């Protein structure tokens, strides 16, 4: 089941649909197959058996096509063939507002000049439609003459990744990234594994940095695994939807992750709602690496419209966008290093550490922390016992020079004999703290070291120190 809410002028149209996910149901006369060869491709393997070649892959020794059912046994007997597998159908991972971009902290990333500029992203989907909020850098279709989207799913996914920051409509996580429409699914959201492989092959050839796949199948394909592995070896980050196979009765021991998300060379993405709880439909399993917004997601849609959609299809492009921001900043890092950086900024959800529901946690867009400028002072440098030491510290934003309020300031006063005072306070609206320490005859005579540690979310910690003398 999916819900789509369209926004067009002042009208709202609600369109409910029911989708049945089917995999590899073909006619009795002809079977869609993928043939993996041990060495070189031999196209006549199919044609001489009254079959038809649909795709001949250059990156793996395989072809896809249609053959009569009666030819299957003959192909299986061919010692030049490593494996014959059904060309399974894949389907968009469900469509079962916009809070998502804010929740993953994308605006904070933009303020650090992370926008995805220069990063090339292949959106393998139903195509992408022309839209005033999207810039399409190029593309290809494996299923029709045009990569134009008549379904809406691919356009919605593309908008989550890179809708323009142009003061209209919505904005994507990485608004300056280059998106490429790689149409591998037909207008009904269905497609074949062979078309997906062709799309990945195109992405490798055209030097994409990231591939987004918001679709899946429960069936394993050796040919797809080989192609995904090759993309990964070529430095392409492959991000895929976990699937929408869960419900309230799903056991915690279930592993119902879709392929290609289940493959080790992909980043598998699950979905959460606004309360950061697992979306009821989001598939679970040990392969989950990150979760992202998946409920009531507003994005671009066909017909120059905008629509709300649900599903791990929507969660996946949030992670793709976040990785694009990292790729812009660290273009030479390996896939694993980029994923590790994304992991360090996630919000851990569920069980501590990686778990089957949330993976490493809820994705957060990268950003550069701001810095403090501090001024630590005392009312004098030398005191007599019985005097009051007044400590003042002013805290400013190092760039804007504006006061930083509500920053935590930890004050530690020590001598050679140990800690005299350890306390924490907060800066006021003027970015200032004042602390008074009244000495007495029992205080140690000698040097005192005053150390302050200033901290606040979004800032690098700042440590300052000052020495005073008590006579």
- Alpha helix (H) ranges present in 118-164? 153-162
Residue 471, burial from CB neighbour count under 10 angstroms (0-12, 13-18, 19+): exposed
Using alpha carbons, select from 358, 364, 209, 212 the residue that is nearest to residue 287: 358
Which of 87, 98, 125, 195 is the catalytic position? Answer: 125
Does residue 442 carry a catalytic annotation? Answer: no
Radius of gyration of the chain, Cα coordinates, nearest whole angstrom: 29
Residue 456 neighbours by CB distance under 10 Å: 20
Q: Which helix (H) or strand (E) holds 47?
A: helix 44-47
Does residue 153 carry a catalytic annotation? Answer: yes
Which of helix, strand or coil describes residue 194?
Answer: helix
Bridge-based pairing of strands 11-17 and 372-378 is unpaired
Does residue 125 carry a catalytic annotation? Answer: yes
Residue 112, burial from CB neighbour count under 10 angstroms (0-12, 13-18, 19+): middle
Which of helix, strand or coil describes residue 26?
Answer: coil
Compute the distance between CA of residue 176 and CA of residue 19 in angstroms, rounded to an integer: 34
**DSSP-assigned states of every residue in 261-291:** TTSTTEEEEEEE-TTSSBPTT---STTEEEE
**DSSP-assigned states of every residue in 306-356:** EEEE-SHHHHHHHHHHHHHHHHHH-TTS-HHHHHHHHHHT-B--SSSSSBT
Which of 93, 198, 282, 313 is the catalytic position? Answer: 313
Which tokens is 66 given? 């249609």
Residue 345 neighbours by CB distance under 10 Å: 18
Residue 75 neighbours by CB distance under 10 Å: 17
**DSSP-assigned states of every residue in 209-261:** SEEEE-EEBSS--HHHHHHHHHHHHTT-EEEEE--S---TT--TT---PPBTT
Which tokens is 351 given? 């069980």
Contact 142, 154 (CB under 8 A): no
Which of 153, 156, 245, 356 is the catalytic position? Answer: 153
Q: Which residues are catalytic?
A: 125, 153, 313
């Amino acid at each position: 089941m999916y819900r789509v809410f369209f926004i067009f002028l002042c009208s709202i149209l609600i369109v409910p649909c029911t989708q049945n996910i089917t995999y590899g149901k073909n006619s009795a006369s002809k079977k869609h197959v993928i043939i993996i060869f041990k060495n070189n491709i031999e196209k006549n393997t199919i044609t001489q058996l009254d079959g038809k070649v649909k795709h001949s892959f250059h990156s793996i020794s395989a072809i896809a096509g249609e053959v009569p059912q009666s030819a299957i046994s003959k192909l299986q007997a061919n010692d030049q063939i490593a494996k014959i597998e059904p060309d399974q159908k894949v389907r968009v991972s469900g469509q079962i507002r916009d809070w998502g971009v804010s929740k993953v902290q994308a605006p904070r990333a933009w303020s650090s000049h992370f926008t995805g500029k220069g990063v090339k992203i292949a959106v393998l989907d139903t195509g992408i439609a022309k839209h005033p909020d999207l810039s399409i850098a190029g593309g290809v279709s494996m299923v029709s003459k045009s990569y134009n989207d008549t379904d809406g799913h691919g356009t919605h996914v593309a908008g989550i990744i890179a809708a323009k920051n142009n003061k209209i409509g919505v904005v994507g996580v990485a608004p300056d990234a280059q998106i490429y429409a790689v149409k591998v699914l037909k207008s009904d959201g269905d497609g074949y594994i062979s078309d997906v492989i062709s799309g990945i092959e195109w992405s490798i050839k055209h030097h994409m940095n990231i591939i987004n796949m918001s679709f899946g199948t429960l069936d394993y394909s050796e040919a797809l695994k080989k192609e995904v592995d090759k993309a990964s070896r070529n430095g392409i980050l492959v991000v895929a939807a976990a699937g929408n196979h869960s419900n309230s009765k799903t056991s915690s021991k279930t592993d119902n992750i879709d392929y290609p998300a289940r493959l080790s060379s992909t980043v598998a993405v699950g979905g959460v709602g606004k309360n950061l709880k697992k979306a009821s439909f989001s598939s679970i399993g040990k392969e989950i690496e990150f979760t992202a917004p998946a409920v009531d997601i507003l994005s671009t849609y066909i017909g120059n419209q905008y629509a709300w959609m649900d599903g791990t299809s929507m969660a996946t492009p949030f992670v793709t966008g976040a990785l694009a921001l990292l790729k812009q900043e660290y273009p030479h890092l390996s896939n694993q290093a980029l994923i590790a950086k994304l992991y360090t900024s996630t919000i851990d959800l569920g069980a501590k550490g990686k778990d089957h529901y949330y993976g490493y946690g809820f994705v957060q867009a990268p950003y550069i922390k701001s810095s403090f400028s501090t001024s630590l002072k005392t009312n004098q440098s030398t005191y007599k016992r019985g005097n009051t030491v007044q400590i003042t510290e002013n805290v400013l934003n190092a760039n804007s020079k504006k006061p930083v309020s509500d920053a935590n300031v930890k004050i530690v006063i020590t001598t050679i004999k140990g800690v005299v005072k350890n306390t924490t306070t907060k800066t006021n609206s003027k970015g200032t703290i004042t602390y008074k320490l009244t000495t007495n005859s029992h205080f140690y005579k000698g040097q005192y070291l005053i150390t302050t540690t200033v901290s606040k979310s979004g800032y690098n910690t700042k440590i300052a120190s000052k020495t005073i003398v008590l006579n």
